Chain A
Amino acid sequence: MNNSNASNGDSKQEDSHSTKAIPDYKVERLDFPDNQVKKMVQSVVFGIFRFSATLNGFALLIVVYFMVSNGLSAITWEFLTQPPTDAMTKGGILPCIVGTFCLSLGAILIAFPIGVASAIYLNEYARPGRTIRIIRLGINNLAGVPSVVFGLFGLAFFVVWMKMGVSILAGALTLAAMSLPVIIGSTEEALRAVPDTYREASLGIGATKWQTIYRVVLPAALPGILTGGILGISRAAGETAPIMFTAAVFYTPYLPSSPFDEIMALPYHIYVLATAGTEIEATRHLQYGTAIVLIALVLGMNLAAIIYRAKLRKKMS
């Protein structure tokens, strides 16, 4: 047993006679100095990998911990159900909650169908060639467009040119444009993960292309597509820059009654209170409180979707 190839062959032969030979073979393999060094390097590198993974987990916990420990006292029933009072130094954040809900729901209603359909075309219909190259390049570049540039675009196009004014509609459209690449990307990833044998089996028993997509590919890819939806909606709900010029205002005492109303939104409210308010220190607890509500809303949605997806996966397998 001088090298691992030989020992591999030996152990297989011995395996058929008696299983006792296997521990011997393992010990001998470990005795090679080369193997030992490799093993050590490997465990050190894997340790570093494990550390970075753990660090990422802790990053979230640290942020959430500081928000909750500082802001929990601000969360009361009044805080959640009343509008701000006394020049936003007291009172609640109801208009902001409603505003963020309207914006993210509007954005996802617009972006999700378009995103999923785009991904279906790219992954199921399109043949390799120049057209698909250009479309992909477009999506990659759209994903790279900075959020504040979406804000400028929304201002110039939806607010000014289409005369929507600063409104929910303009904000939702801007957010939809922004979350489109996220949805397309993860839907495509999900579709790609569906084995070709599924498609071949379906086409083989006489289904058309569309029937195959609708009845076979989409159900199999659903958990992954939902991931895309989650990523899209959470981006839309948490973004501030795109709605700064298109939908959100400092203060409005009214709840929205039409898509053309301007609104308050949670992320923008945090920014306003933390940087532009007249009483920045005095409203600290309101800032923490608003941050908790935003985190709870966004992370809650995500958590629900993650759990749902896990259940779906179990059901499929």
Chain B
Amino acid sequence: MKTNSQTTEKVIQSIFFMIALASIMILLMISVFLFMEGIPILNHVSLWDFIFGIYWYPTSEPPDFGIYALIIGSVATTIVSASISIPLGVMTAIYLAEIASSRFREIVKPIVELLAALPSVVIGFFGMVVMAPLLQNYLDIATGLNLFNASLMLGFMSIPTICSISEDAIYSVPTNLKEASLALGATHLETITRVILPASISGISTAVILGMSRAIGETMVVLMVAGGAAMVPQSIFDPVRPLPASIAAEMAEAPFRGEHYAALFATGIVLFVFTFIFNLVADYISNKYRQVGDSTL
């Protein structure tokens, strides 16, 4: 009877193992199918010209498939939005987890969760009909649909991701670490910066990764708000056309399995590789500083 229940346990464990592989399988399938559909573009344009070509005129004759301006557009929106979302998100997380009264926490935490639930298309719509005219009038610029507006919207979209995951990480720091620090005479602020943040840094890094990957891959906001000009921006008030916006806007018109179709899939590969490398680096950092037990600070 004992061996019987041991077999059952083994079977259950291997079932869970198989299911846990699903994520990797999906990731593999994504790469396989992206490359399958995207690689044919190299028959028409060299890899160098595709990445560093500054002209993106996919429908003119002959077409130009250079995504340099789109890459710069994506990088710029992500950097500007991260400079908004990382400080705001992490500070909010610290406040909610460590400082806030339980009453404040009970009100703001659900609101931040609801902010995460706000659909991207609604935020894009808000940026288009409310924020864009506002920026245009007050800053006296040519168009309110630009890099800055898109970054602002993206920033507020990634805050909840950064905030809720950081907060979980901060909250799960063992209480005895905190108590030990306070007992040594450290102030609450010192305890936060020297004990709690180092102890939860792996969780906060994960939060920042997920937040930024949401920003770089976010499509609807940049599609509706960034302005759509495939040019290298000269200021943060210039319109841009980030990679996802280009894919989403043009896929419907691209002839099935034509050059343009392949070029858009290849753009998808660039976006995919971008986030992949980004995540590998962040994963390395978060593992290097991972806290294993109370004693490894």
Contacts and interface: CB of A to CB of B under 8 A. Distances in A.
A231 to B, nearest CB: 7
A137 to B, nearest CB: 6
Given A151-B248, A299-B118, A140 B206 contact: yes
A312 interface: no
Nearest to A192: B172
Interface size class of B (residues with CB under 8 A): 35 or more
A260 interface: no
Interface in A186-203: 189, 192-193
A140 B265 contact: no
Interface residues of A, number: 96
B108 A60 contact: no
Nearest to B190: A38
Contacts of A126: 17, 20
A27 interface: no
A271 B121 contact: yes
B5 interface: yes
Contacts of B218: 146-147
Interface in A87-135: 114, 117-118, 120-122, 125-126, 134-135
Q: Give the secondary structure class of A's interface.
A: helix
Interface stretch (A15-23, A43-51, A78-86): A43-51
A145 B110 CA distance: 26
B285 to A, nearest CB: 12
B81 to A, nearest CB: 14
Contacts of A287: 125, 129
A267 B275 CA distance: 25
Given A143-B213, A152-B34, A118 B8 contact: no
B111 interface: yes
A183 to B, nearest CB: 10
A244 B251 contact: yes
Contacts of B88: 52, 55-56
Contact of B224 (A54, A67, A139, A274): A274
A9 B33 CA distance: 69
Contact of A145 (B22, B27, B117): B27
B177 interface: no
B97 to A, nearest CB: 10
A234 B117 contact: yes
B23 A180 contact: yes
B196 to A, nearest CB: 13
Contacts of A275: 223-224
Contact of B189 (A41, A67, A117, A291): A41
Interface of B: 5, 8-9, 12-13, 15-17, 19-24, 26-27, 29-30, 33-34, 36-37, 87-88, 91-92, 94-96, 99-100, 104, 107-108, 110-126, 128-130, 156, 159-160, 163, 165, 168, 172, 185, 187-190, 206, 209-210, 213, 216-220, 223-224, 244, 247-248, 251-252, 264-265, 268, 271-272, 275-276, 278-280, 282-283
Minimum-distance CB pairs A-B, first 8:
A146-B217, A238-B119, A144-B213, A138-B24, A241-B219, A234-B117, A121-B16, A49-B95
20 contacts: A46-B95, A46-B99, A54-B108, A56-B88, A56-B108, A63-B126, A66-B126, A114-B22, A118-B20, A118-B22, A145-B30, A151-B219, A151-B251, A208-B5, A209-B13, A238-B117, A267-B220, A275-B223, A294-B122, A295-B119
